[in-house]
Structure 1
Amino acid sequence: MGLRPRRRLPAGRLSAPPRRPGRSRPGPITRITVDMEEHPMSQQQTPAVAPSARTGWLPAPVGELMPLVTGLGAGLALCTACELGLPDAVEEEPTRVQDIAERAGADPDLVGRLLRALAAFGVFSPAGTDRFTHSRLSSILRTDALEGGGVFLQTVRDEWMGGSWTGLTEAVRTGSPALPARHGKSLFEYFATDAPREGETFNEAMTLMVGSMNEVLAEHIDVGGATRYVDVGGGQGTMLRAVLRRNPELRGVLFDLEQALTEVHEELRTGDLSGRCEIVPGDGLRSVPDDADIYQMRTVLHMWDDETCVRLLRNCARAAKPGARIIVIDQLVDPERPDPMSTLMDLQMFLIAGGRERSEQEFASLFERAGLEFTRVVRTPVLLHLIEAIVPA
């Protein structure tokens, strides 16, 4: 004998009344309704609900956490799409999932589901039930895109970054950065000896991201009659190039480790600015070039712990003319108004090198310990700002 299906109750009914004896069909049913706003259990046990496009109908506190929880999956989905070459497999016109999967050498069903998941975040756009086209965000992930979005995604997939984040729990427990603990060497030693391709991708990503801010930063630098300008840790020299182009009276020194100076911008090596630019290899933790009016460090101090930063700043103070200026270009952390970019970058800097992002007060403390006088912060419309000090007379 089969089981009889359980009857569904209309909304608002708590139970069905029993059948009356001797009748084959149920008698009249009394409809019972409950005002949930006045019901005491609704206020004590029913959590608030916060529907949204990202969280759905989840209790409010849990719903608010869901972007953090799902963010890991979304990031890995994006990395997977790039690793499979999906941005290059999607054409300008709507492209069939089957064709995309064949070009990627992947399972068509899962490619479609992956694209659908990314489309929910604005990466790719559905065009019918079995086709996708590019969105503004997916288009910058193509290998020929000038914006270089794929380069940034490659750094996330590389061991130096992705592997370091997997060591966050142990790093927080021990107070030791993850990458040196994992590989027994510093980040740049790791690039030089173990992963040169990762080092090249890192340099390319930094040139694209930080280099895109050069013109704005140079516009906010007041050289104030200076004649000799040293870019400490300047790498390819793109920041110094922007400063020299805006200040024709200025002579520059590009100073960095020898291995960091292998791809100096052509304009500084042999081009129009070569006559005003000296390229000097060296280690700033030992010494820096003498007698400059301005020593500038862009995204250098955030790589190091406080003791190392003070050591570098002291070397600048010793080498500089009295009254010379120190310009640090970095992010600024606001302890009372934390933002995702600076705070997550702060953790990343610790994981890979023991560094940190700093507040205005923390920079002022570094300057004081190095024998410098903190003067001001020049805020810019981009991610990085200018934190300045002077060498006492």
Structure 2
Amino acid sequence: MTQSSHSHELPPQVVILDMLLGMMKTQAIRQAVLLNLAERVKDGPRSVQDLAEETHTHPTSLLRLFRALESLGFFQETEVGSYEQTSLSYFLRPGVPGSMYDATLIHGETWQWRPWEAMSYSMETGATAFDHLFGTPLFDHLAQYPEQAEVFHRAMVGLTAQADGPIAQGYDFGTFSTLVDIGGGYGRMLTAILRAHPQLHGILFDLPNTIDDARSQITSLDIADRCQLVAGDMFKPETIPHADAYIMRQIIKDWSDEEAVRILSNCRQAMNPGGRILVTEQVVLPGQHMSATKLIDLQLMVVLSGQERTEPEYRALFEAAGLHLAHIWPTRSPYSVLEGIV
């Protein structure tokens, strides 16, 4: 390392402190979303005084929030006490393409925050801190709070939407007649795949409440005549429809090894001869790569029973489910398509 390159590096203590301030950044950005600040300045600069009156907040407190957010790249001061949109704050608006509005909301929710306070419980026991604190698994908890569940689902759609096209183009679905999207939510990924492969027929498979919500959206699309909606439970093999292939994105990562093997085995039993099971996930790489994925892995440890996995770990899951991991297809997104065959 040369002296010149070393002089441009931040001291280790500064780097560590910035990492430790992460929880403050999360709450500051979430407060911007709760106050809908990005939407309020969409048409041009606004004064903090006006925004404080509009949001029923303390003017000085709101100014301090704006200063902190500006230091992170959100909003920009145009004149003393007035702020405008930036390319980052734009994505805090609800409903815009690529919006991070709902994702920001859930990252400050109590159900997501408290398990991190109890991380030591997961470290000591290997069990999920969320279940320990709330007395029930996450998905059962969300089922009791429909509004939280809706925000959670919208956040998951928003976080994965940018990968729909790359996944549709990154694997040759043209060899199949029917494709089932396991736990496919509102069918965004399946819609992208069906549009890219006109000969393909799709089946959106999810829990009954989700299918009911998805129906109105799917029926209005151009692929509606090639997309069947089926309500069921991936842990109940008798409810899984027969097909040539099954795809699941961010499903396996949410479950323990034992539960993941059950899901894969159930799909294998329903699969037509010569079919494929396609697991679409981010495959963990060694070393200082994919830091976000490895932090999400800790999130899965404290909130769910699942985990992010390496290639050997996925290979072991496939084998335990009676499958062979034949190929891993990268896409122009963080996700890869792991192809399983009998």
TM-score (norm 2): 0.91
Instruction: State the distance in 2 between where 1:385 and 1:87 align.
Output: 33
Describe the shift of the 1:212–1:262 C-alpha distance in structure 2 as closer, same or farther (beyond 3 A).
farther
Which runs of 5 or more residues in structure 2 are unaligned? 1-5
Q: Does 1:185 align with 2:129?
A: no
Q: Between 360-369 and 79-88, report the one with greater CA deviation.
A: 79-88
Aligned-residue offset at 1:368: 0.8
**Distance in 2 of aligned mates of 1:104 and 1:290:** 50
Q: Which residue of 2 aligns with 1:355?
A: 306
Between Structure 1 and Structure 2, the one with more strand by share is 2
Q: SS of the counterpart of 1:112?
A: helix
Which of 104, 108, 120 in structure 1 is aligned with 2:71?
Answer: 120
In structure 2, distance between residues paired with 1:88 and 1:381: 31
Q: Which amino acid letter does the alignment assign opposite residue 298 of structure 1?
A: R
Higher-helix-fraction structure: 2
TM-score, scaled relative to structure 1: 0.79
Kindly state the Cα deviation for residue 373 of structure 1 after the two structures are TM-superposed.
0.9
Change beyond 3 A, Cα 1:273–1:144: closer
Partners of 1:279 and 1:124 in 2: how far apart?
42
Give 2:58's aligned residue. Answer: 107
Of stretches 367-376 and 121-130 in structure 1, the one that deviates more from structure 2 is 121-130
Would you say the 8 A contact 1:267–1:273 is kept in 2? no
Q: Which amino acid aligns with 2:178?
A: R
Q: Tell me which of the two structures has the higher relative contact order, counting C-alpha pairs closer than 8 angstroms and 6 or more residues apart.
A: 2
1:318-365 alpha-carbon deviations (Å, 9 max, x no partner): 222232111001111112343221111111122222111111111111
Q: Percent identity?
A: 32
Q: Hey, what does 1:326 align to over in structure 2?
A: 277
Report the Cα distance in structure 1 between the residues aligned to 2:195 and 2:306, rounded to whole angstroms: 32
Q: Deviations over 1:189-237 (max 9, x none)?
A: 11111x2111000111112221232121111121252112111111212
> What's the secondary structure of 1:322's corresponding residue?
strand
The answer as to whether partners of 2:260 and 2:317 remain within 8 angstroms in 1 is yes
Larger Rg: 1
- Kept after mapping to 1: 8 A contact 2:100/2:159: no
Equivalent residues of 1:234, 1:297 under 8 A apart: yes
Which residue among 334, 339, 358 is the counterpart of 2:290? 339
Cα distance change of structure 1 residues 267 and 96 upon mapping to structure 2, 3 Å threshold:
closer
Give the letter aligned to residue 87 of structure 1. Answer: A
RMSD: 2.2
Alpha-carbon distance between aligned partners in 2 of 1:374 and 1:233, rounded to the nearest angstrom: 21
Matching residue's letter, 2:169: E
Distance 1:277 1:336, change over 3 A: same
CA distance in 1, matches of 2:156, 2:121: 27
For residue 263 of structure 1, what is the amino acid of its counterpart? D
Q: 1:249 to 1:181 in 2, by over 3 A?
A: same
Aligned to 1:214: 164
Give, in whole Å, the separation in 2 of the partners of 1:145 and 1:272: 22
How far did residue 174 of structure 1 move? 2.1
| Mapping 1:236-255, distance limit 5 Å | 236-255=186-205
Residue in 1 aligned with 2:15? 64
Distance 1:255 1:267 in 2: 15
Instruction: Give, in whole Å, the separation in 2 of the partners of 1:133 and 1:377.
Output: 44
CA contact (8 A) 1:267 1:274 kept: no
1:200: which partner in 2? 150
Show the 5 A alignment for 1:6-25: none
